[in-house]
Structure 1
Amino acid sequence: MHPPPPVTARTYRFALRSIEERFGPGNFDDAGDAIVEALHDSYDQAERCAVDFDFVTAHANPWLHALVVTIDPLPESAHARLLVRLDEIGLQPADR
């Protein structure tokens, strides 16, 4: 019998400009809600996940500013379904 694959934290970066194009200027709360809803749609044990949101805005070029979302733990199968669900709602992580 093989051991189950490791479950790990996943980090997703969303360009702030793409969030604002989708949800409107400064509307990061709705984007966060949509990401959490997509997680619940993608993973039947989403309540076990810790979801952390952080902004990366230190770079002088606003093109590189991002919302960074870490989901811990998230198994590979749920990660793949989450990416599909994010695409469906118009939120593509910047570093796919």
Structure 2
Amino acid sequence: MMAGGLSDTRPATKEVQHMVDQVKPQFESRVNEKCGLFVAIEYRTQVVAGINYFIKIQVSDSMYAHLRVFQSLPSENQGPSLVSYQTGKTRDDPLTYF
């Protein structure tokens, strides 16, 4: 994968779910509602000065959202942060840059 380009879509891993769990409070604060379900389904990455993760999450039986989460370089010793999100997605919507 070249720097700046998006990786192929991959199934979510335990590490991606952990990242999603860490940004869940940020997401809930922005959408002003609590999510009982918050499960990472798949993701793509983009190498920048750190890594942008584009993650499809399931928030209810039939509702999905896309998150863009930034993970800084390890030397900066900071947790992941929610940069942007899109709601109203379906399981079949492709993950694209936003």
TM tier, smaller: 0.3 to 0.5
Structure holding more helix per residue: 1
Highest Rg: 1 or 2?
1
Structure holding more strand per residue: 2
Greater RCO, CA 8 A, separation 6+: 1
TM-score scaled to structure 2, two decimals?
0.32
